[in-house]
A = this chain, B = another copy of it.
Amino acid sequence: MLDVCLLGTGGMMPLPYRWLTSLMVRYNGKSILIDCGEGTQIAMKEKGWSPKPIDVICFTHFHADHISGLPGMFLTMGNAERTEPLLLIGPKGLERVVTALRTIAPELPFEIKFMELSDTQQSIDLGGIKLNAFKVNHNITCYGYSLEVERVGMFDLERAKEQEIPQKYWSRLQKGEVIEAEGITYTPDMVLGAPRKGLKVTYTTDTRPCESIVENAKDSDLFICEGMYGEEDKVKKAKEYKHMTFYEAAELAKRSNVAEMWLTHYSPSLVRPEDYMKKVRKIFPNSHAGKDGKSVELMFQD
């Protein structure tokens, strides 16, 4: 089960009724946060989720609305007596930017590790979760992220028997162990059927539509995409500031063959995103206007 919460849906500045865009994902005891603008720690508390067990914080880019909440988040984690190291992932310059922000949060009881992205496409194993970072098209370097949980095949009794694998190893092999015994190497795939469908969530914001999004969002169970403007005539503005309209996001969802799309990162001038959804759903039917705290528990298919 992948527990996903869109903590906020605002772009540019936090508003009394809208937190800044940020995504939190929990899986198997791990917590991952993507983006941390001013107020993200409050949004998290409002949702009832805790910042303490966050293992990784990813940043799409270094505009303030995506990182200004970091010093406060650090201190709140510190006040909760966190001692486990925290991994930060983001574009080149991450350590420099975070070090500058730590001027007001210099003493923390946990270590901060940095992983700076430099490739156009990068895959990172977060232990049970595969994080794919991909460059998108904004006015500064910006990445989108997809999170994938792969799922091995079911135990295949016939195959195990056919290959004469000793029964005493079945359970360990099924759990992923490689076993050497009497000169023979037994691997998990020897007792498993074809991999089953896993889970995939893709998050991208502050970008024009681009091919890297289509490629990386492909077949996602959930595609969370920026929609800065709902008004169709704001496409010029979207191009100028390197953002998207709702309709451009919907086209991406359609081309990526995702199961569901949530829009986010609304312009402060956009008060009622719902007003535009009817038209958006004509392009991609399973489109939803994201709301602060909107969450879903994505389940493996049986």
Residues of A whose CB lies within 8 Å of any CB of B are: 12-16, 37-39, 41-42, 45-46, 62-65, 67-69, 71-72, 75-76, 79, 96-97, 100-101, 103-105
Contacts and interface: CB of A to CB of B under 8 A. Distances in A.
Nearest to A93: B103
Would you call the interface of chain A mostly helix, strand, loop, or mixed?
helix
Contacts of A14: 39, 41-42, 72
A260 B125 CA distance: 59
Nearest to A98: B103
A72 B42 CA distance: 15
11 contacts: A12-B75, A13-B75, A13-B79, A38-B41, A38-B68, A39-B39, A63-B104, A64-B71, A64-B105, A68-B68, A68-B71
A96 B104 CA distance: 11
Contacts of A68: 38, 68-69, 71-72, 104
Contact of A79 (B12, B67, B71): B12
A64 B104 contact: yes
A52 to B, nearest CB: 13
Contacts of A64: 71-72, 75, 104-105
A88 to B, nearest CB: 14
A207 B71 CA distance: 22
A79 B76 CA distance: 29
A120 to B, nearest CB: 24
Contact of A62 (B72, B96, B104): B104
Given A12-B79, A76-B13, A79-B12, A42 B41 contact: no
A165 B100 CA distance: 62
A104 B101 CA distance: 9
